[in-house]
Amino acid sequence: MRHLNRPADQVRPIEIIRNFTKKAAGSVYIKAGSTTVLCTASVEDKLPPWKDPLKDPSGWVTAEYSMLPGSTSPRKSRERLKTDSRSTEIQRLIGRSLRAAVNTKALGPRTITIDCDVLEADGGTRTLSITGGFIALVDALNSIERRDPTFSAKAAVAQGIAAVSLGYVNGQLLLDLDYSEDSTAEVDLNVVMTSDDEFVEIQGTAENKAFSLEQLTAQLAMAKQGVHQLFSLQQKSLGNLWPLDKNYLIS
């Protein structure tokens, strides 16, 4: 039996606190098991220097990711001048994933930066950052709507985004791996999906031996089930700000 007697196809207990900080346009404290991430979304009424607002006035979404020194044991060194290669790879994944959630033309000539700071790491930090980052993103879009009545937060959301990890541990397929499971998994998969049940990214690795097409298919089916659980939690957290027509609430 898994930790906390969790079924194989169930995500970890998740706690979500919106508006956790007051300065950012959107901020979310999200905790899954022992993994804890602070996601903040900041809005700038300008575009990156490489984007010409006259030729392309559509907006931009980017992300930064960092594991704070006390998030692991032993202590992880603070990233002061240069982001390490792992953090760079993860923040690019988060940025790609959350850009898929946004109608950049409806966003207009604005940049939204999602900062994901890991407070405690126990597996699944990148996937939890994406799931929490979407909530912070929606709150940031609504902050634009409150100061600009011509802007529609709902129109700026193209689709929902959530992400989950899973894999085979001792031959059993498990959803939402914690570190003890992830560190011994034969197969490790991170899956980012949209509310239309399409894939944004699939990161799969065979740690000990190759896996079959049948095993991959089973993992993707479980991932779909898992992200639906996460969409339900996102919807519950956002309440009347839920921007999608689909209802994921689990009765």
Tell me, what's the pLDDT at 83? Answer: 75
Q: Looking at residue 90, which CATH number applies to its domain?
A: 3.30.230.70
The confidence score (pLDDT) of residue 81 equals 64
In a domain, 247, yes or no: no
Q: With respect to residue 2, please indicate whether it lies within any of the assigned structural domains.
A: no
Q: Is 251 domain-assigned?
A: no
Crossing angle (nearest 10°) for helices 85-99 and 125-147: 50
In a domain, residue 197? The reply is yes
- Residue 113's SS3 state is strand
Q: Is position 107 within any domain?
A: yes
How far apart are alpha carbons 95 and 103 in whole angstroms?
14
Structural domain that includes position 105:
7-74+85-241
Phi, psi of 141 (to 5 degrees): -65, -40
Question: Number of folded domains in the chain?
Answer: 1
Residue 246 inside a domain? The answer is no
Q: Does residue 58 form part of some domain?
A: yes
Q: What is the pLDDT of residues 181-212, one digit of tens each?
A: 999 999 999 999 999 999 999 999 998 889 99
Is 1 part of any domain? no
Dihedral, 93, 244, 198, 118 alpha carbons, nearest 10: 20
Taking only the tens place, the pLDDT of each residue in 118-142 is 999 999 999 999 999 999 999 999 9
171-186: pLDDT as tens digits: 999 999 999 999 999 9
pLDDT of residue 251: 62
